[in-house]
């Protein structure tokens, strides 16, 4: 049965965070997300365009994605009839525009297809697990006590690994303190591209702490330098911001720039591209895990569904809704129980998008038909 796009409703929402989300190059206190509702033949599929506010993480912002969706992507999609979901994704991928904008429509189409086939989303993607392991991520804090206190608040929820953010001048001391307080918990660092090869001594010292990986230690385009780093440290290098396209993955793999891939649905522009990256990494023998921005509930549910695929070797960054947000737009909220997120059994993403919450936190709304 063909897939026809009848109507697209866009809702820009903004929800306060429980605490500021701070990384090496910026901070946000509220979460912006653009909810994309695609109507087709009596069904509605939901996606989320969820770039970080500001331009410190990527050139895509909530404002730029809103402009692309309302003026180009959604209007061009209305009334189109595609033979298959694959055809729709290929067409959308070929349009001008950023991945963070396109992903809202693309993932909504996957939700629609899962509903049409009466499959949970994770099954449509090829997932095999009925629950996925969740890992705790904590940002940068003003003091060591604040960092350790945040970890102590959330670890009792059973998260199966810990990720801490680092930046130059806040690195070895943080890892040392975490190891002293929490012992041999599975631990990794995330630098968000803050370092250069001038900081090799930092990573040589961190090699002594039995870490799972160094996530994105160097700049996005520094693939050759990342290969040099991986040659001189034992800890696996994980790439995140560097892996925006399949071509990026193939080039980085050829250079041996990394041993672990963090796949983010938002960054690569949707499920089709994420699956292509996943399949390439599996073929090349690279480790994989699924990251988040973090997104609101729709995007988080999508990330958890992707993490159910075989070969995702480390816990996902998808956490409980209550970990980051004072409220969420889905019912029920995503929960982590004993370190696990259960896969929904209902067709599609398996969560109900709450229209009252969309209205409460709405910044802008537009229907395109």
List the catalytic residues: 165, 264
List the one residue out of 46, 43, 47 whose CA is nearest residue 118: 43
- Rounded to whole angstroms, the Cα distance separating 232 from 217 reads 14
Could you tell me which residues come within 8 angstroms of residue 185 by beta carbon, excluding any fewer than 6 positions away?
155, 161, 162, 178
Distance of alpha carbon 36 from alpha carbon 8, whole angstroms: 7
Long-range contacts of 345-348 (CB under 8 A, 24+ apart): 345/120, 346/120, 347/114, 347/115, 347/117, 347/118, 347/119, 347/120, 348/45, 348/46, 348/111, 348/112, 348/114, 348/115, 348/120, 348/121
**Residue 138 CA: distances (Å) to CA of 7, 16, 146, 170, 254:** 39, 17, 11, 14, 32
CA 43 to each of CA 17, 38, 70, 106: distance values in angstroms, whole numbers, following the listed order: 31, 8, 21, 15
**Bridge-partner residues for 263, per DSSP?**
290
* Cα(279)–Cα(206) distance, integer angstroms: 31
Q: Are 289 and 305 in contact (CB under 8 A)?
A: no
Residue 54's region, left for phi above 0, alpha for psi from -120 to 50, else beta, is left
Tokens 């409703």: give the residue: 9
Q: Which of 143, 114, 178 is nearest to 346 (CA)?
A: 114
CA distance 99 to 102: 5
Nearest to 259 by CA among 243, 275, 276: 243
Q: Quick one: residue 182, left, alpha or beta (phi over 0 = left, psi -120 to 50 = alpha)? A: alpha
């Amino acid at each position: 049965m063909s897939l026809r796009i009848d109507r697209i409703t866009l809702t820009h929402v903004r929800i306060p965070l429980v605490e500021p989300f701070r990384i090496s190059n910026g901070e946000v206190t509220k979460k912006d997300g653009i909810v994309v509702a695609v109507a087709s033949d009596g069904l509605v599929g939901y996606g989320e365009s969820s770039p970080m506010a500001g331009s410190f993480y990527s050139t895509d912002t909530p404002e730029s994605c809103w402009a692309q969706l309302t003026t180009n992507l959604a209007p061009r999609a209305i009334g189109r009839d595609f033979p298959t979901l694959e055809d729709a994704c290929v067409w959308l991928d070929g349009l001008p525009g950023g991945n963070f904008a396109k992903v809202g429509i693309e993932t909504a189409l996957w939700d629609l297809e899962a509903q049409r086939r009466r499959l949970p989303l994770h099954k449509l993607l090829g997932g095999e697990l009925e629950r996925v392991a969740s890992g705790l991520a904590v940002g940068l804090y003003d003091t060591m006590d604040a960092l350790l206190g945040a970890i102590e608040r959330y670890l009792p929820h059973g998260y199966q690994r810990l990720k801490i953010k680092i930046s130059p001048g806040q690195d070895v001391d943080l890892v040392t303190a975490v190891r002293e307080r929490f012992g041999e918990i599975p631990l990794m660092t995330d630098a968000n591209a803050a370092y250069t090869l001038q900081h090799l001594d930092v990573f040589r010292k961190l090699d002594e702490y039995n870490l799972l990986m160094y996530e994105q230690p160097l700049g996005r385009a520094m693939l050759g330098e990342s290969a040099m780093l991986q040659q001189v440290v034992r800890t696996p290098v994980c790439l995140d911001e560097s892996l925006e396209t399949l071509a990026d993955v193939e080039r980085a793999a050829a250079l041996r720039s990394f041993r672990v891939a963090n796949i983010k649905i938002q960054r690569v522009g949707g499920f089709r591209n994420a699956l292509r990256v996943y399949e390439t990494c599996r073929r090349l023998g690279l480790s994989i895990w699924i990251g988040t921005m973090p997104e609101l509930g729709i995007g988080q549910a999508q990330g958890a569904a992707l993490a159910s695929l075989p070969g995702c070797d480390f816990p996902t960054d998808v956490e409980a809704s209550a970990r980051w947000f004072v409220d969420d737009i889905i019912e029920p909220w995503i929960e982590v129980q004993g370190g696990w997120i259960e896969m929904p059994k209902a067709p599609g993403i398996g969560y109900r998008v709450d229209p009252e919450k969309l209205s409460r936190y709405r910044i802008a709304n537009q229907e395109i038909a």
